Structure 1
Amino acid sequence: MQEVKLVVEEASYISILPITGQVNVIEPDATVTKLDVGEILILPVASQVTLPLTNPYEAEEITFLHVSIKTNEAAVSGHGQVVAFDLASLENQLFSLNSVCNTTAYPFAISLGRFDGRKEAFYPLKNQQSTLFAFVVNGAFELEGRLLHAKDGLALWNTPQIELEALSNQAIIVTVELMNEQR
């Protein structure tokens, strides 16, 4: 079994999104959370915690996206939340994962989208003071006049909305809007 240890130096919300395969997350209370494609874990974690992430497959590689969003120590109580989503709901639009969460108390909003070539989308920021980070998982996009390929990221601020266009088929993008108190 392959394992990566994620060291969380500051209190954070940790999000784990499997891209291929399954990833097992061993939470601070020793609970093992098994995540498959079509799920994301949002986990509040205190500072100075190590999270083991394991690949349950002997001979297969997995890939996953990990996003850490710093928060204050008081916000890290409770367990992680697994949010399942239907991949069809991502077709040619940005789908807000927060819309299917049990709580809207997060100081950030995560959206995913899978686009056919030449399809466009707009994302109005919830707060004009927010910072938005976009990460291309697969394919290519033009985002606010900038060309982004797979594994490229871009941060934007002081903008009321973003416009994106997929430049390839099956292009996948993740956006994270950090509300103004996170800047």
Structure 2
Amino acid sequence: MQTIFHPASSRGFADHGWLQSAHTFSFANYYDPERIHFGALRVLNDDKVAAGRGFGKHPHDNMEIISIPLAGDLRHEDSLGNTTIIRQGDVQAMSAGTGVAHSEMNANTDQAVEFLQIWVFPRERDVTPSYSQITLDATRLENRLEQIVSPDAAGPGVTVQQDAWFHLGKLAAGTEHSYQVKKPGNGVYAFLLSGEASVAGQTMGKRDGLGVWETDQMTIEVNADAELLLMEVPMSF
């Protein structure tokens, strides 16, 4: 088993006034040659957008883009014809493929919106763009790891064009959980949203990240009530 630990404080930080963003991997003005990506996981941005502000229409191609709101409401519009509100408890995925333009705006005028923006390199280039969105059943997150992203259009979870699986769980203190890697050669990037846990033997606190690879399973011991996101991705692609 190989691991790499990224404390929350080691991330790149940007304050644009209307946007505060923490970058786990190199992004925009933050560049670290040792932090370009973890396998096919290219971007993990922890964003907070002021009321009424957001990202105007901009293009993407050949990237799987996953958005997970943590607080507030995010308005999404894209060139595929989708106009929707993504709320806490929702998960959205967009396969940019041959090209798509979209905007992401805070739908609230009285509070910030907080969300994770995650990019994954696709399995194949120049696929037809697509969009999917789900609302999670909160009860299924309690003390278990619920699948929220997968390559299977039948689900559960939103669909991406990569052999990647994401799981999210709200785990109680004192419990122990095991994650089985779904595809040989994949690695898992763990991101602790809150609480405290030991993942693959590494103690983690709020917003810490841990990459784990060259193993087929990992153990999670929960020290304080925790919300944990696991992102399994190919290490070579």
User: Which of 81, 84, 94 pairs up with 2:145?
Assistant: 94
- Give the CA deviation at 1:165: 1.6
Unaligned runs of 5+ in 1: none
2:170 corresponds to? 114
Q: Is the 8 A contact 1:8 1:47 kept in 2?
A: no
2:186 corresponds to? 130
The C-alpha deviation readout for 1:50-90, integer Å capped at 9, x for no partner, is 54211111120111111100123233x24210022111101
1:45 pairs with 2:45: no
The one-letter code of the counterpart of 2:197 is F
Question: How far apart, in 1, do the equivalents of 2:179 and 2:91 lie?
Answer: 20
Q: Is the 8 A contact 1:83 1:100 kept in 2?
A: no
How does the TM-score come out when normalised to structure 2?
0.68
Question: How far apart, in 1, do the equivalents of 2:112 and 2:91 lie?
Answer: 18
1:166 corresponds to? 222
Quick one: structure 1 residues 110 and 5, their matched pair in 2 at CA, closer, same or farther if it must change by over 3 Å?
farther
Q: Is the 8 A contact 2:68 2:91 kept in 1?
A: yes
Number of aligned residue pairs: 180
User: Which of 143, 163, 176 pairs up with 2:199?
Assistant: 143
Quick one: structure 1 residues 178 and 6, their matched pair in 2 at CA, closer, same or farther if it must change by over 3 Å?
farther
- Give the CA deviation at 1:4: 2.8
- Give the CA deviation at 1:118: 1.5
Question: How far apart, in 2, do the equivalents of 1:35 and 1:8 lie?
Answer: 19
Quick one: structure 1 residues 51 and 165, their matched pair in 2 at CA, closer, same or farther if it must change by over 3 Å?
farther
Unaligned runs of 5+ in 2: 1-51
- Give the CA deviation at 1:152: 1.1
Question: How far apart, in 1, do the equivalents of 2:57 and 2:169 lie?
Answer: 26
Question: How far apart, in 2, do the equivalents of 1:152 and 1:9 lie?
Answer: 28
User: Which of 175, 178, 183 pairs up with 2:233?
Assistant: 178
User: Which of 74, 83, 104 pairs up with 2:126?
Assistant: 74
Question: Higher helix proportion, which one?
Answer: 1
Sequence identity percentage: 18
